[in-house]
């Protein structure tokens, strides 16, 4: 690399850290506290929904920072992606995991809003819920699964981020570029 990318790397890493940590804390701490403190299923759902709603703007900012930083790092390291063996594959894996984590985060938000709407005491919410009825028990099970999928997927991104860091070591870069060149060279003597 010809220069430092401290700002975009920080956005990438801090965004991912907050996305991973917030989703893990929510799945363990917030949902656990709601189960412990709520006396009915509806009350437990309302407690959890209130906590997740408070976290949502921070989560959205973290995801945005991660994506912006990731795009910046991809642009800054495009030469390595194309020239260093193994970097394109790990970059593709990160892209797939990022898309899956985004989809899981969005789906969790949609399910959470539907459950919250269906269990709301507000007459306007009840009217909206009646227009779009859901099986709340099934939605709660799906939400529980998807809320664990987000930290699993973002944890995978943390591991791939560590791999990318290892691939940036000077000897790794030299070896990777040598291997790419060797594989691309004609087999003639």
Q: Which residue reads 């929510």 in tokens? A: 26
User: Residue 174: what pLDDT?
Assistant: 66
The total number of structural domains in the chain stands at 1
Residue 55 domain-assigned (yes or no): yes
User: Which domain covers residue 161, as residue numbers?
Assistant: 6-184
User: Residue 173: what pLDDT?
Assistant: 59
Cα–Cα distance for residue pair 101/54, rounded to 1 Å: 20
CB atoms within 10 A of CB 137: 10
Residue 189 domain-assigned (yes or no): no
Extract the tokens encoding 25. Answer: 């804390």
| Radius of gyration (C-alpha) of the chain in whole angstroms | 22
Residue 104 domain-assigned (yes or no): yes
Q: SS3 string of 1-44?
A: CCCCCHHHHHHHHHHHHHHHHHHHHHHHHHHHHHHHHCCCHHHH
User: Residue 103: what pLDDT?
Assistant: 98
Helices (H) and strands (E) in the chain, counts: 8, 0
Residue 88 domain-assigned (yes or no): yes
Q: How far is CA 150 from its chain centroid?
A: 6
For the chain, 189 residues long, give each residue's pLDDT as a single digit of tens.
457 899 999 999 999 999 999 999 999 999 999 999 999 988 888 899 899 999 999 999 999 999 999 999 999 999 888 888 888 999 999 999 999 999 999 999 999 988 888 777 777 777 777 787 788 889 999 999 999 999 999 999 999 999 988 877 666 556 666 676 677 767 654
């Amino acid at each position: 690399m010809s220069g430092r990318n401290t700002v975009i790397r920080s956005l990438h890493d801090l965004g991912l850290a907050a996305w991973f940590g917030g989703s893990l804390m929510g799945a363990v701490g917030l949902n656990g506290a709601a189960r412990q403190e709520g006396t009915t299923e509806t009350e437990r759902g309302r407690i959890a929904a209130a906590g997740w709603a408070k976290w949502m703007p921070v989560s959205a900012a973290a995801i945005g920072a991660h994506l912006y930083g990731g795009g910046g790092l991809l642009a800054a390291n495009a030469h390595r992606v194309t020239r260093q063996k193994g970097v394109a594959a790990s970059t593709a894996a990160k892209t797939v995991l990022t898309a899956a984590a985004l989809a899981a985060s969005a789906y969790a938000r949609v399910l959470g809003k539907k459950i919250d709407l269906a269990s709301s005491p507000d007459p306007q919410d009840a009217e909206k819920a009646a227009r779009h009825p859901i099986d709340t028990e099934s939605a709660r099970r799906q939400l529980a699964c998807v809320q664990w999928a987000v930290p699993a997927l973002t944890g995978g991104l943390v591991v791939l981020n560590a791999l990318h860091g290892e691939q940036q070591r000077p000897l790794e870069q030299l070896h990777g570029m040598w291997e790419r060149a060797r594989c691309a060279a004609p087999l003639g003597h």
